[in-house]
Structure 1
Amino acid sequence: MKKSLLAVALLGAFGVASAQSSVTVYGTMDAGVGYTNGANAAGTQTTLESGQQSYSRIGFKGTEDLGGGLKALFVLEQGVQLDTGSSGYNTTGSNTSTSTTSGNTGTFSSQAYVGLGGNFGTVKLGRQFSPLYETYASIDPFQNGFSANINNFFGNSSSTTSVAAGGNVASYQRMSNAVTYSTPDNLYGFKGTVAYGFGEQAGDTSAQSQVGASLSYINGPLTVAYAYHQANNDTVVGSVATPGETFKTNFIGAAYDFNVVKVHAAFDQNQQADQTLKTQDYMLGVTVPFGAHSVFADYTHKDNKLVQNADADQYAIGYTYTLSKRTNLYTSYSYVKNKEDSYINTDVAGNSVSTFQVGMRHSF
């Protein structure tokens, strides 16, 4: 009898402990066919791509209730290339599924952090999305996905380096060696995040470091957001950071949901090194949901004051059809018109680039 009571007590204690912590396996599997024209000198290209609408990944996340409103949390997330079965992920918007950039491969290269959360907000340590990149997703009609996503133009200080040399490789999307703090979600509609990524260079604590911040206000159908990012000594040429270069960007955007249509608008200004001249980007977009369908489109313009004849324009439209809460079909088309010295989405200066995508995404 005493043994039975002890067993019941132990099981009860174990049940309480189990209820205080949880681990979830999650992921997104996205694959489809992509067609591009003008991305390189060889001509058109048709590929089976992984991660067209959003990058394919598998992850583990968990929380533990520490009492008094305090909780521990973690995320381990790895990109997956569905076309080859290999690990890693594409830079969102790349024209082929074989295109990866430095830092995008390896175990848990997508996200890997541990943190504490409570009434004070959340502190996280590890590899994370930057505040700028997450702010883009809240405003971009394409939600940082598809070949037409906002990252083709925004956050790039120049459009004068080819895709092969890394001109459209944005080093701000994820921050390694990062400490972030985010405010609680209930501050009268306001939400803020600050982030610092250690450069970890001997003798110079600022070298290779990154700083990020964002502030948003959400009130019913209205979203207004600002974000800042600075990468010290981190201008990317291929996969090599050039010493002495500093990248800065300021972004502001807004969206308003009228139910039948949602409108989006954004502006950013980018500065590279000690250049007094800057580049500026403008975006106007719409999202039209109806039943299981959603249509979204935008127009984006780069005003390149840093280099002459390097302006560019993008026209894009996308469509999704929801099969269930976790599965959807999609397609998108984008057209980038580069001036003679602009390389956006292409290896050939001045090339116009057309991209068509169609595929399927499943989340779990």
Structure 2
Amino acid sequence: MKKICAAAAAGLVTSVACAQSSLTMFGVVDAAVTYTTGSGPASTSRWQLTNSANSFSRLGFRGNEDLGGGLSAGFWLEEGLMNDTGTGFPSNTNNQLNGTAGLGTQTFNRRSTVSLTSSTLGELRLGRDYTPTFWNTALFDPFGTGSGIGANQLYFSGLGGLQAPTGTRASNSIGYFLPANLGGFYGSVMYAMGENISNSTLPATPGALPVPNKNDGRYGGIRLGYQSGPFHVSIATGLTTYATGDLRVSNLGASWTFEQLMGLRVMGEYYVESLGAVDGKGALLGFILPVGPGEIKASYARYVRQPVGNVPDPTTSKLALGYVYNFSKRTAVYATVARLTNSNGASQALTGVTTSPNHASTGGETGVRVAF
């Protein structure tokens, strides 16, 4: 990381300004060669040069100013990068499908916030930020939420995951975070606005009454957790309002680090959700085992969609195994293999391919990640 004094050109007051404020530029560039394939009569396969397989590629700037008396002000601007093509990830302006910016647009889609923090009262944060319900998915999966073939299956196939406007982040949000000195306890709440006008309605079909949707895109969520020594547990829940059916997501994550077993960290997540009348639920169990300068990671996830009516529940399971070798704190190489299986009509597949219902998808990837 490169730290730059925010007032480096301020002449005689430079030393004072440097002691009170800072600007940090940071990022990750991650690329991998990936091969994935489906199975069955409607299957495809593909070789790709992908990005973000181990950790999402990004470029960011964050700053902080000490205001005295335990109070500070800060900002955070962070954009996702598709470094295999030199473009950016999409963002969303109103937490609704019609607010999604085009793929490839360079935006600060990952985080764009300004905040005031008190050492005794906590932090007030405004802007586009991670939702409380996203954090457990990110922290309690050995593969995190990179877009590689080992990534969290609950997040990628769930109703409230990758494809949902508030599955990861919410725009127009007001967030509050408890102070950090609570003996291991922490928590946050968020309220985000869809910003529709007061008489907004859904497009109506001829002869039908208009359906008000002024609250579409409104999100509310809360997360509470405890971390001390080897133990970490967190629970979160959130609701996004839509006239066509609300999105509800709740999850519970936990981990334990066994120092006497080479620092083995075992973790898991339980996940329940609904979108209107359709429900979903899933669970994940995994571990990270440090081995010399690297680490072995593995996970097993199972997700069940529960549609309306007396029909079989489409079910998807994924087993992933990976290894990361750290040349330094900044640079690593990695390799991952994964196999995804479907039943009861499910047809999920690994990155970039299709598979027939009730068939499997397999793949492998190897890449390099550099952080700065």
Fold shared, TM-score > 0.5 on shorter chain = yes
Which residue does the alignment assign to 2:96?
A: none
TM (norm. structure 1) is 0.83
**Residue of structure 2 aligned with 1:222, choices 218, 231, 241:** 231
1:149 aligned to which of 132, 139, 151: 151
CA distance in 2, matches of 1:155, 1:78: 20
Q: What residue identity is the alignment partner of 1:147?
A: I
- Per the alignment, do residues 59 and 301 of structure 1 end up closer, same or farther by CA in structure 2, a change over 3 Å counting? same
1:354 and 2:348 matched: no
5+ residue gaps, structure 1: 1-9, 91-100, 160-166, 234-242
Cα deviation for residue 352 of structure 1 reads 1.5
Measured in 2, the distance between the counterparts of 1:82 and 1:304 equals 33
CA contact (8 A) 2:306 2:313 kept: no
SS of structure 2 residue aligned to 1:278: strand
Answer whether contact 1:157 1:278 (CA < 8 A) is retained. Answer: no
Alpha-carbon distance between aligned partners in 1 of 2:190 and 2:39, rounded to the nearest angstrom: 35
Task: Determine the structure 1 residue equivalent to 2:340.
Answer: 336
Q: Which residue of 2 aligns with 1:257?
A: 257
> Which residue of the partner structure matches residue 135 of structure 1?
136
Query: What secondary structure sits across from 1:185 in the alignment?
Result: coil
Q: Is the 8 A contact 1:23 1:60 kept in 2?
A: yes
Select the residue among 258, 268, 279 that pairs with 2:271.
268
Contact 2:157 2:348 in 1 (8 A): no
1:355 positional shift: 2.4
Percent same amino acid among aligned pairs? 30
Aligned residues: 326
The alignment partner of 2:56 has SS state of coil
1:155-194 equivalence runs, <5 A = 157=158, 169-171=163-165, 172-194=167-189
Q: Name 2:81's counterpart in structure 1.
A: 80
Q: 1:185 to 1:130 in 2, by over 3 A?
A: same
Decide whether aligned partners of structure 1 residues 179 and 253 sit closer, same or farther in structure 2, where only a CA change above 3 A counts. same
Question: 1:50, 1:89 → 2: CA distance?
Answer: 15
TM normalised by structure 2 equals 0.81
Match of 2:331 among 311, 318, 327: 327
Shift of 1:194: 0.6
Alignment root-mean-square deviation, CA: 2.4
For structure 2, the residue ranges without an aligned partner over 5 or more in a row are 1-9, 92-98, 199-212
Which SS does the other structure have where 2:346 is aligned? coil
Q: Is 2:304–2:313's contact at 8 Å kept on the other side of the alignment?
A: no
3-state DSSP of counterpart to 2:79: strand
Structure 2 Cα separation of the partners of residues 23 and 116 of structure 1:
16
- With over 3 angstroms needed to count, the CA separation of the structure-2 counterparts of 1:268 and 1:336, relative to structure 1, is same
